[in-house]
C-alpha cells in the first residue's frame, strides 16, 4: 500500500533562517506531488505541484521554492523565512487520473 | 479559473441529527471530479466522499451523501445521524480532467453537540 511521510511535524524557526520541509511517498511510482499551505479562514492554498522529476509548477509568488530531486521526494525550501511564512504546510500525492489526493500529516511552522 | 466556494464558515448540529454543508464551484470544464475532505483536530486530511461529474447518481458512503447539481454547480454534503466524531473542518475540493491541480474551498467548521 502507498504511504506518505512528511517531516518535521512542528518547527519553530527565526526570521531570516532557511527552511527545508521534506515529503516522501512509498509504494507507488511517478506520483503527482503537491505542497499546500493552510491558513485560518483561507482553506488550502496550493503552493507548488510536480508531475515528474525536476518539473515544478508554482502557483503563488512567494518566499518559497520547491524541488523534486527524486521520483517520490518533494522538498519545500526557503532561503530566508519571513514572519508571514508561518502556517500549516501539507504535502499530498495523487496517482493522477483525477483520483483523490492523499495527504501527509502536515508541518506546523512558526517563524519567530 | 476554477474556484470553490464554501459559504458556511461554521455550523453546529445536535448528535443524531442531520446536517448539510454547502459547496459551489465554477468551471468551464465538462469532465471533473469533486471531493469532500474531513480534517479533524489531528489535522490529518481524510477523504469522505467523491463524485465524478459524468455520473448523475449522487455518491453515498454510509452516513455521508452528496447532492450534486451539475447545472447549478452545487455539491453539498449531507451527514446523517451525526456523531461526536464528525466534529471537524470539512473541505470541498475540485479537480478537472484538464488539470493536475486540486482546488479547495475555505472550509466549514462543523461541531456536533452532545
Please tell me the predicted confidence (pLDDT) of residue A61.
67
- Pairing type for strands B10-14 and B108-113 reads parallel
Show Cβ contacts of residue B64 under 8 Å, excluding neighbours closer than 6 positions: B36, B48, B49, B77, B78, B79, B80
Q: Pick the more confident residue, B99 or A50.
A: A50
Please tell me the predicted confidence (pLDDT) of residue A48.
96
Show Cβ contacts of residue B22 under 8 Å, excluding neighbours closer than 6 positions: B6, B7, B8, B74, B76, B108
Residue of A nearest to B52 (CA): A98
Calculate mean pLDDT across residues A81-90. Answer: 94
Q: Assess A94–B contact: CB distance below 8 Å, yes or no.
A: yes
Q: For the segment B23-60, what is each residue's pLDDT rounded down to a tens digit?
A: 999 999 888 999 999 999 989 999 999 999 999 899 99
Q: For the segment A30-82, what is each residue's pLDDT rounded down to a tens digit?
A: 999 999 999 876 789 999 999 999 899 998 867 899 999 999 999 999 999 99
Give chain A's mean pLDDT. 93
User: Would you state the cell numbers that stand for residue B88, as one nine-digit string?
Assistant: 471537524
Question: Is B71:B55 a contact under the CB 8 Å cutoff?
Answer: no
Residue of A nearest to B4 (CA): A43
Give chain B's mean pLDDT. 95
Q: How much of chain B, in percent, has pLDDT values that exceed 90? A: 86
Interface test with B, best of A101, A102, A107 (most B CBs within 10 A): A101
Q: Assess B55–A contact: CB distance below 8 Å, yes or no.
A: no
Interface test with B, best of A98, A102, A106, A107 (most B CBs within 10 A): A98
Amino acid at each position: 500500500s502507498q504511504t506518505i511521510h512528511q517531516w518535521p511535524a512542528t518547527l519553530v524557526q527565526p526570521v531570516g533562517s532557511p527552511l527545508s520541509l521534506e515529503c516522501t511517498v512509498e509504494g507507488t511510482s511517478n506520483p503527482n506531488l503537491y505542497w499546500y499551505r493552510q491558513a485560518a479562514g483561507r482553506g488550502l492554498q496550493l503552493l507548488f505541484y510536480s508531475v515528474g522529476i525536476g518539473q515544478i509548477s508554482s502557483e503563488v509568488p512567494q518566499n518559497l521554492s520547491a524541488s523534486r530531486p527524486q521520483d517520490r521526494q518533494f522538498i519545500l525550501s526557503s532561503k530566508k523565512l519571513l514572519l508571514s511564512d508561518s502556517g500549516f504546510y501539507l504535502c499530498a500525492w495523487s496517482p493522477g487520473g483525477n483520483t483523490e489526493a492523499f495527504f501527509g500529516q502536515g508541518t506546523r511552522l512558526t517563524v519567530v | 479559473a476554477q474556484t470553490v466556494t464554501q459559504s458556511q464558515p461554521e455550523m453546529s448540529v445536535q448528535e443524531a441529527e442531520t446536517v448539510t454543508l454547502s459547496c459551489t464551484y465554477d468551471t468551464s470544464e465538462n469532465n471533473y471530479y469533486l471531493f469532500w475532505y474531513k480534517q479533524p483536530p489531528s489535522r490529518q486530511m481524510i477523504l469522505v466522499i467523491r463524485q465524478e461529474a459524468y455520473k448523475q447518481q449522487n455518491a453515498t458512503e454510509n452516513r455521508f451523501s452528496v447532492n450534486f447539481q451539475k447545472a447549478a454547480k452545487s455539491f453539498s454534503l449531507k451527514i446523517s445521524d451525526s456523531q461526536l466524531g464528525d466534529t471537524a473542518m470539512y473541505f470541498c475540493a475540485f479537480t478537472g480532467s484538464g488539470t493536475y491541480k486540486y482546488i479547495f474551498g475555505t472550509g466549514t467548521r462543523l461541531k456536533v453537540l452532545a
